Amino acid sequence: MIPATPQVTTVVTDSDSVDAAIASRFSCRAFHREQEVPRSTIEEILAVASRAPSGTNIQPWNVYVLQGASRDALVAKTCEAHDAVYRDPELAARYRSDLDYYPTKWSSPFIERRRENGWGLYGLLGIARGEKDKMHGQHQRNYQFFDAPVGLMFTIDKVLGRGSLMDCAMFMQNVMVAARARGLHTCPQAAWLEYAAVVLPHIGAGDNEMLVAGMSLGYADVGATVNRFHTPREAVGNFTRWL
């Protein structure tokens, strides 16, 4: 008899911990900058995450880890560009991404959920409608990695199809869950796509690569007001059909 592989024989006895790692994942928007994450821990997370499935096992993801000076330099460059676009919106055309993350035209129920999310966050932070400077400042927190000591950038090759975006997303989800298992928090960030033209040269990505997303990684600031913001989820019955 051919022996079974560990993937087949491993028994997950503590389902509560697995569920807790998934359910406690949220978009953390305030980290302790001074509390570094060891490289060995990051490598462990990425190794576990690499078990994510991918079509025909092509494993399309590339990961760039930014810490210290490289992280700080990207923050400075991107914040400068973000401020320039705020002053002159026409400059945004310089930074267009190859990936259209959001639809060009919103429809229900997605637009309502988006608005609920945005105004829920701003309301918690005391940012009222029309306070554009404050909104700009809060949006720029994305480009500061919310003070997380580690920034991750995920890319795939431009020649790949949309299925590879799904593969990369599953890999990213594994990263976030594995981080929770080690007491860390994350924030996946599509906001970096707005400045892909700044990010890609900085990280040394090839001309063949497309930015998929960024991610902040570190230890959460548990006392920060912004980290009290947690988004709701639809009931299973609202998105499931039993046949």
pLDDT digits (tens, 9 = 90+) for 208-241: 999 999 999 999 999 999 999 999 999 999 999 9
pLDDT tier, 3 (very low <50, low <70, confident <90, very high otherwise): low
Q: How far apart are CA 156 and CA 95, in angstroms?
A: 18
Q: Is it the case that residue 2 has pLDDT exceeding 70?
A: no
Rounded CA separation 98/21 (Å): 32
Residue 47 CB contacts under 8 Å (≥ 6 apart), including other chains: none
Q: Which amino acid is at 155?
A: T
Instruction: Give me the residue spans of the domains in the chain.
Output: 22-229
**What is the pLDDT confidence band of residue 7, given thresholds at 50, 70 and 90?**
confident
Helix, strand or coil for residue 60?
A: coil
First to last CA, the chain: 38
Measured at the CA of 208, the angle between CA 175 and CA 59, to 5 degrees, comes to 35
- pLDDT tier, 98 (very low <50, low <70, confident <90, very high otherwise): confident
* Segment 16-64, tens digit of pLDDT: 999 999 999 999 999 999 999 999 999 999 999 999 999 999 999 999 9
Question: What CATH fold (topology level) applies to the domain 22-229?
Answer: NADH Oxidase (3.40.109)
